[in-house]
Amino acid sequence: MSDQDTLRHGEGTTHFGFREVPESEKATLVGQVFQSVAGKYDLMNDLMSLGIHRLWKRFTIDQARVRPGYQVLDVAGGTGDLGAALAERVGPGGRVVISDINPAMLEVGRNRLADKGIVGNVEFVEADAERLPFPDDSFDVATLAFGIRNMTHPDQALHELYRVLKPGGRVLILEFSHPTWPGVGPVYDLYSFHVLPRLGQWVAGDRDSYQYLVESIRRFPDQETFKGMMETAGFDLVEYFNLSGGIVALHKGIKI
């Protein structure tokens, strides 16, 4: 079906990497990507970022300022790396809910945390970030790492994050962004488009999925634009931190 046909049938289009697809198809296409890469997802993160993603996530955890007893939501938390660190900080009196739309990613996370003995204060929930199955004002902190660019309606996901946070709660969204250091952009493009898909083929046996992931990064809004989207969703005191020269940015906002 062409874009024109899609629009005539009353449905808009959205991007899936550099392709335009019907909105109703994106979640399925993204689901297929993560179903394919789930088993190698964390290994590929280490290889693609040379391990630096661990520092980005540690910075996110520090900025979350989670305290014992907090109720924390980690959206698109799949393999559980943020969730494990958050669970240690909330302690036995707190709770971390790890949600993800993809059951394969959740299974990886569930097994990983069980192997670490982190089970008592963690809950795994299969959920769409655009329709979170939680009451209003439920969580002290919400985190979302490298997931919002894959959503069909990221603005709706932002509204949902705002809804489920308690007044005074904070959201932290870690995502690939737009390089700010002079000269980094061309080198980053060369690495992204020529090295990462080949790495995906060699390690995960899936070039196409990693080609999509690279393209999805390029389609994601720049830092200032995404800051505006968070403000439109209702968040106050929105700020962002450029990491690794803007290759990644951590966005933070408060629900007043």
Decide which of 197 and 228 is more confident.
228
For helices 23-37 and 103-115, the axis angle rounded to 10 degrees is 40
> What's the pLDDT at 16?
82
Taking residues 88-92, what's their average pLDDT?
97
pTM value > 0.85: yes
Taking residues 217-240, what's their average pLDDT?
96
Cα(63)–Cα(254) distance, integer angstroms? 12
Structural domains present in the chain: 3-28 (no CATH), 37-179+215-254 (3.40.50.150)
Q: What does the DSSP 8-state code read for residue 68?
A: T
Task: Give the pLDDT band of residue 72 (cuts 50, 70, 90).
Answer: very high
144-170 confidence digits (pLDDT tens): 999 999 999 999 999 999 999 999 999
Decide which of 179 and 40 is more confident.
179
> What's the pLDDT at 11?
65
| 205-209: long-range pairs with CB below 8 Å, 24+ | 206/36, 206/37, 209/33, 209/36, 209/37
Cα(102)–Cα(31) distance, integer angstroms? 6
Taking residues 20-24, what's their average pLDDT?
90
Q: Which of 144-153, 206-215, 239-248 has the lowest mean pLDDT?
A: 206-215
> What's the pLDDT at 1?
41
> What's the pLDDT at 175?
95
Per residue, the 3-state secondary structure of 20-64, as one string, reads EEEHHHHHHHHHHHHHHHHHHHHHHHHHHHCCCHHHHHHHHHHHH
- Residue that has been written with the tokens 């989207």 in this structure: 229
Cα(43)–Cα(46) distance, integer angstroms? 5
> What's the pLDDT at 188?
85
Judged by DSSP in three states, 161 sits in helix
> What's the pLDDT at 4?
42
Q: What does the DSSP 8-state code read for residue 129?
A: T
Task: Give the pLDDT band of residue 77 (cuts 50, 70, 90).
Answer: very high
> What's the pLDDT at 10?
53
